[in-house]
């Protein structure tokens, strides 16, 4: 995992160096600036070495091409075998991008399986692209007569850029051929067709999920797992523990955070005992939250109330995990794929609208939940991996009818979380992995289950200098003030922020 900057038609190595240092937290293992001779391009890169740790330095310069990459290509070994091992100069998974491009195939980028953002330059052309759901960030801006790219908005802070925008998820920008949308999220199914075998659907879902977790654990360093005690992270951790056992490795390292006595901490302990992970936890206080807020908001690049609230426990989890590992698995994406949010219950009698809403929310994750996961973990030089957002898993999950994701249930039944049960098919598929009271535990948002909401209210009162309740409007204003105080071009940051409720499908 890494961060990068690219300047095309600008040619200022000092500027590239200054910009990369503003995001150097993304890659503390190495920092380099390079120019492609005979071309109007300068690239800068900061590296967190995960695959090809010995010889995977970037920018990658081979003959007339220069490449910077952020992310992981999980099928790089298969691609090496297809492309020819003799063409490769390093063990880095990132190098596969260069050789796929050189293959001349019209849809070469579609063969990449992973989470990534990259910029590739030849002597007369530059290509910038992003993974299907935008797990890894990439921004583009105008700089004079040239173009600037960066992994985070803060790299542009204090730089006279204009027209700042994100490269869209599954998008590709080519200075020669213009824009392409190389990946489109498949639209979700609604009602179950007649004769659908639900048991077989659940079984197949489990197999696809197991393959995704195993794939997303590929690394030359140890990969741990966040464990909130909720369904999503517990499923990922349980499968990951089995992968480690089957490959003869030691127990999975799991990490949980919360206030003293938080439900998430207790649930995570129970899951860790059940799967046999090597578990660590951290207890935080209201004072810790008050101290962490400026750091969270600066690195998050957003003042959105919901995003900030959920980012705070993510920060403490990242700090805890980084003491022992460089990469962690997370449960992000399950709510969007399988209808896990509280508001999804309103769609229980309209599976078509639910399917449309899930498809919409998958497309907006890149500057909401995925932005939180990327920015906050990378602020601690930790790589977060999201197996639920594996492309094969997305394709299969979107083919499962929404009517099997949110269902009306008997609230007194064991296999129910209430009169309506969210993520029903996912629970059925993974019921044997965990104790029944954990599989069918009523969902809590991470900030609620970790105890963040109540502790945050205390922290907000301290920061606002009041004994009165700080309502949502005042909380939003406080976050905006904190953000503005940390950026020269704060308006640029605020304009690019996403919102949880933008363009929701009506029900």
- Active-site positions? 2
Contact 31, 46 (CB under 8 A): yes
**174 vs 62: CA distance, rounded Å:** 20
92: Cα separation from own chain's centroid: 21
- Parallel/antiparallel/unpaired status of strands 171-174 and 30-35: unpaired
Cβ neighbors of 213 (< 8 A, separation 6 or more) are: 236, 239, 240, 243, 329, 387
Eight-state DSSP code of residue 156 = G
Collapsing DSSP states into helix, strand and coil, what is residue 401?
coil
Q: CA dist 47 to 22, 216, 326, Å?
A: 14, 19, 12
- Parallel/antiparallel/unpaired status of strands 114-121 and 126-130: antiparallel
Cα-trace Rg, the chain? 22
CA dihedral 399, 405, 408, 410 (to 10 degrees): 130
Within 10 angstroms of residue 471's Cβ, the number of other Cβ atoms is 10
Torsion sign over Cα 154, 110, 27, 308:
positive
- H helices then E strands: how many in the chain? 18, 19
């Amino acid at each position: 995992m890494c961060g990068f900057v690219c300047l095309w038609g600008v040619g200022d190595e000092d500027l590239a160096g200054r910009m990369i240092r503003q995001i150097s937290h993304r890659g503390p293992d190495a920092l380099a600036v390079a120019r492609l001779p005979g071309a109007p391009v300068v690239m800068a890169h900061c590296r967190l070495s995960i695959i090809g740790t010995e010889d995977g330095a970037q920018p990658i310069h081979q003959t007339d091409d220069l490449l910077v990459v952020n992310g992981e290509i999980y099928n790089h070994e298969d691609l090496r075998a297809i492309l020819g091992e003799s063409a490769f100069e390093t063990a880095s998974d990132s190098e596969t991008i260069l050789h796929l491009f050189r293959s001349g195939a019209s849809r070469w980028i579609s063969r990449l399986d992973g989470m990534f953002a990259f910029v590739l330059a030849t002597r007369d052309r530059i290509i910038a692209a992003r993974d299907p759901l935008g797990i890894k960030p990439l921004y583009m801006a105008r700089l004079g007569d040239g173009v600037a790219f960066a992994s985070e908005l803060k790299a542009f802070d204090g730089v006279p850029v204009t027209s700042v925008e994100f490269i869209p998820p599954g998008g590709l920008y080519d200075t020669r051929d213009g824009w392409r949308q190389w990946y489109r999220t498949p639209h979700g199914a609604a009602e179950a067709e007649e004769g659908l075998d639900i048991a077989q659907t659940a079984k197949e879902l489990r197999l696809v999920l197991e393959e995704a977790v195993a794939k997303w654990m590929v690394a030359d360093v140890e990969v741990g797992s966040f464990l909130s005690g909720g369904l999503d992270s517990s499923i990922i951790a349980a499968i990951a523990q089995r992968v480690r056992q089957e490959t003869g490795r030691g127990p999975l390292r799991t990490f949980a955070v919360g206030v003293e006595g938080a439900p998430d901490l207790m649930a995570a302990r129970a899951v860790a005992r059940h799967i046999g992970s090597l578990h660590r936890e951290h207890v935080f206080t209201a004072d810790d939250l008050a101290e962490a807020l400026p750091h969270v908001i600066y690195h998050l690049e957003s003042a959105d109330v919901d995003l900030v609230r959920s980012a705070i426990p993510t920060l403490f989890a990242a700090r805890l995990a980084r003491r022992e590992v460089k990469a962690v698995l997370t449960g992000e994406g399950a709510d969007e794929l399988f209808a896990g949010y509280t508001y999804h219950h309103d769609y229980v009698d309209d599976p078509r609208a639910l399917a449309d809403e899930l498809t919409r929310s998958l497309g907006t994750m890149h500057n909401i939940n995925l932005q939180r996961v990327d920015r906050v973990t990378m602020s601690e030089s930790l790589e977060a991996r999201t197996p639920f957002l594996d492309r094969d898993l997305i394709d299969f999950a979107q083919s499962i009818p929404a009517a099997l994701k949110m269902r009306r249930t008997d609230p007194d039944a064991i296999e129910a979380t209430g009169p309506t049960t969210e993520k029903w098919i996912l629970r059925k598929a993974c019921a044997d992995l965990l104790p029944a009271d954990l599989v069918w535990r009523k969902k809590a948002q991470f900030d609620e289950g970790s105890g963040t909401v109540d502790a945050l209210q205390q922290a907000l009162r301290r920061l606002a200098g009041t004994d009165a309740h700080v309502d949502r409007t005042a909380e939003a204003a406080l976050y905006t003030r904190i953000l503005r105080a940390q950026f020269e071009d704060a308006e640029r940051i605020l304009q690019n922020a996403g919102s949880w409720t933008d363009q929701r499908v009506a029900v």
